[in-house]
Structure 1
Amino acid sequence: MKLFPGLSVKVAVLLVLSVFLGGCGSEQGPVRLQGRAIGTTYSILVYGLPENLTSESLDRGVKQVVAGVNSAMSLFKPDSELSRFNACNETDWFPVSRELAEVVSTAKEVNRMTGGAFDITVAPLVNLWGFGPDKRPEIVPSEAEIKQASADVGSNLVEVRLDPPAIKKLKPGLTLDLAAIAKGYCVDAVSNWLESRGVSGFMVEIGGEIRTRGTKPGNVPWRIAVEKPVSMERSVQAVISLTDKAMATSGDYRNYFEVGGKRYSHIIDPTTGRPITHKLVSVSVIDATCSRADALATGLTVLGPEKGAAVARKYNLSVFFIAKTADGFAETATGNFPKHETLN
């Protein structure tokens, strides 16, 4: 059954929960916007347009914001700021937009918080294991190949300044991959633009990363699905209420390959150069900004259940961990992660 044409099941489930769960609202339905951003899709629900906005002007404005983020951070656009920085082999300061500088700054902050588990310089290892844009056969690389690729990985190899905004390589061959933070940043950029236009009730979703503002009519909260971490079906593990916050989820349960009966995840630990092997399969982080939530979700996933939970408690982060057990799944929540309804 197609719930909304053109949307993945994951996003469709999320929209159904957001629109229909939690009681009745007003008779006036939401404005729905859909499109593509950062190599994925976006879905936006807005309730109560201000008088100075129409759905058409809203759509144009969102597309302009998305285009700006793409022009700064897309790896698919050869003329984007990020692509030009990656192609440059100089080690001088490289002027960029404030947006790109802020993303790199946030990435370095999360790198420090997670002890190197989140690293935007990990692309050589991702490509080596066959999960990057440079596709390669599903072959386990040798120790020598891992060591060679790891030599070009390290958050300490890139510097950033905000005034004037610029980033700098400390090693000529360094490349950045913002896939684990750019979607979250785009969610924030669109959300901030909506707020600046006086929109007080919305949900912005880009590639599964979400930020909400206000409530639906009748003071009904936004209800968001956490997907069940299984590869063979699309279903919901839990449902939470999310108000004036962002949530991002990271998981390793779909993108992987197997060799000799052993599974190799697409999530690479930058500190070892290898895919993660622990039982943590899904991490959802709630934070004030989606960019930080996005990066933290990946970093905590790399760390695993024990180390990830320890970091979450150290920084009082609101996190929902799902680990695989012999009997199914075990859930752990830290910080102020909201009470949720588990659908098992």
Structure 2
Amino acid sequence: MLLLLFLAACSAKQPPFLQISGSTMGTSYHITLRQPSDEWTEKTLKEALDLRLQAFNQLASTYIPDSELNRLNSAPIGEGHAVMPMLFDILLLATEVSWLSNGAFDITVAPLVDLWGFGPVRHEVKPDDKAVAAALEQVGFDQIELDLLDKTVLKNRKLHIDLSAIAKGYGVDVVALWLESLGTTDYLVEIGGEMRVAGLSPRGDQWRIGVENPDVSNPETVPIRLGNIGVATSGDYRNYFEEDGIRYSHTIDPNTGRPITHNLASVTVLDPSCAFADAMATAFLVMGGDKTMKLAEQLQIPVYLIEKSEAGFVRRYSSAFASYLEQEK
């Protein structure tokens, strides 16, 4: 996941801000917030936050054997399985993004990711066409039925649901809403590069972040200013393998069963829901630049793209993104 860099610096002249950090979901989190009240210290906030993140992991992780998600994965095929409301909400949002992106986002893509060597067991061997076809038979978001009344989930065939492409963003939203419930209106929440901001930064102005440049020879970031919004970035230029001179990306197209071949290197999405931004960033990365821009303009989604070209990396963005660029202010 491409990292968004926090550029705002703290100032002693501003009202008190606290900073807490830790580990969750196999990555790290960093939070900067205006102190809600005297009773909340960095220590008490971290203790309470870690408990909430542990509970969220117990809900959505595939690495915890008895997680709510793994119980769903092991549930019988063809039978409705009751799940907790939060997990149902994640599945509903994931399904929405899948339909919006014509299947470019698919939470059942894990068999293909594993086949291509980008799952828990890493390898760098291109699978044959027969193996790809077999894996595709185990993929299909449209084989999941969600009952809105009973909050039950039914799988029409054997599927392995993996929420890694939406869970960090959803976790950011969970933390942000909890902080707001404590009374703070100024914060930055970041988990594994996905983030959500609200109110003012410690400098007393809008939060500023930098979109990382994939070109290591030119590491300069692109600064953007944010209001109350979530931010997510997906990139494919770091995680890949090569065989016979061909580069195979870790980003798998669920429709073809194969790694993407277009020149989109990274995509940054803004949305009030970090979970939606997280999922759409993955979908857009699968779709490629032209399809992304068409859908982003149609839905008025703020999107910033970095694409590879023979001359180096080039950038373009949707019309809804323009107002966030610092040079546009």
Normalised to the residue count of structure 2, the TM-score between the two structures is: 0.93
Query: Are 2:234 and 1:243 equivalent residues in the alignment?
Result: no
1:261 corresponding residue in structure 2 = 245
Equivalents in 1 of 2:202, 2:22: separation in Å?
A: 25
Equivalents in 2 of 1:162, 1:68: separation in Å?
A: 23
Distance 1:9 1:33, change over 3 A: farther
Equivalents in 2 of 1:100, 1:111: separation in Å?
A: 16
SS in 1 for 2:139: coil
SS in 1 for 2:8: helix
1:315 corresponding residue in structure 2 = 299
Q: 2:57 aligns with which of 60, 64, 70?
A: 70
2:151 corresponding residue in structure 1 = 165
Structure 2 gaps of 5+ residues are none
Equivalents in 1 of 2:253, 2:8: separation in Å?
A: 34
RMSD: 2.1
Distance apart, 1:223 and its partner CA: 0.7
Equivalents in 1 of 2:218, 2:68: separation in Å?
A: 36
Distance apart, 1:165 and its partner CA: 2.5
Deviations 1:29-67 (A, max 9, x none): 631111112221111111243244232221122112211
Equivalents in 2 of 1:54, 1:302: separation in Å?
A: 42
Distance 1:233 1:179, change over 3 A: farther
SS in 1 for 2:170: helix
Q: Contact between 2:36 and 2:182, CA under 8 Å: does it hold in 1?
A: no
Residue type of the partner of 2:318? T
Residue type of the partner of 2:294? A
Q: Contact between 2:9 and 2:202, CA under 8 Å: does it hold in 1?
A: no
Equivalents in 2 of 1:104, 1:208: separation in Å?
A: 22
Distance 1:67 1:162, change over 3 A: farther
Distance 1:203 1:162, change over 3 A: farther
Residue type of the partner of 2:98? N
2:8 corresponding residue in structure 1 = 18
Distance 1:209 1:233, change over 3 A: farther
SS in 2 for 1:179: coil
Correspondences of 1:39-78 after superposition (within 5 Å): 39-78=26-65
Residue type of the partner of 2:284? L
Correspondences of 1:70-219 after superposition (within 5 Å): 70-135=57-122, 137-171=123-157, 173-217=158-202, 219=204
Deviations 1:133-164 (A, max 9, x none): 133x3111111111110011111111223443
Distance 1:80 1:233, change over 3 A: farther
Distance 1:80 1:224, change over 3 A: same
Equivalents in 1 of 2:41, 2:125: separation in Å?
A: 52
Q: Contact between 1:98 and 1:162, CA under 8 Å: does it hold in 2?
A: no
Distance apart, 1:217 and its partner CA: 4.3
Equivalents in 1 of 2:2, 2:115: separation in Å?
A: 30
Q: Contact between 1:10 and 1:234, CA under 8 Å: does it hold in 2?
A: no
Q: 2:210 aligns with which of 222, 225, 243?
A: 225
Deviations 1:103-154 (A, max 9, x none): 110011001111110100101100000001133x311111111111001111
Equivalents in 1 of 2:2, 2:287: separation in Å?
A: 29
Alignment length (residue pairs)? 326
Q: Contact between 1:114 and 1:299, CA under 8 Å: does it hold in 2?
A: yes
2:272 corresponding residue in structure 1 = 288
Equivalents in 2 of 1:256, 1:18: separation in Å?
A: 32
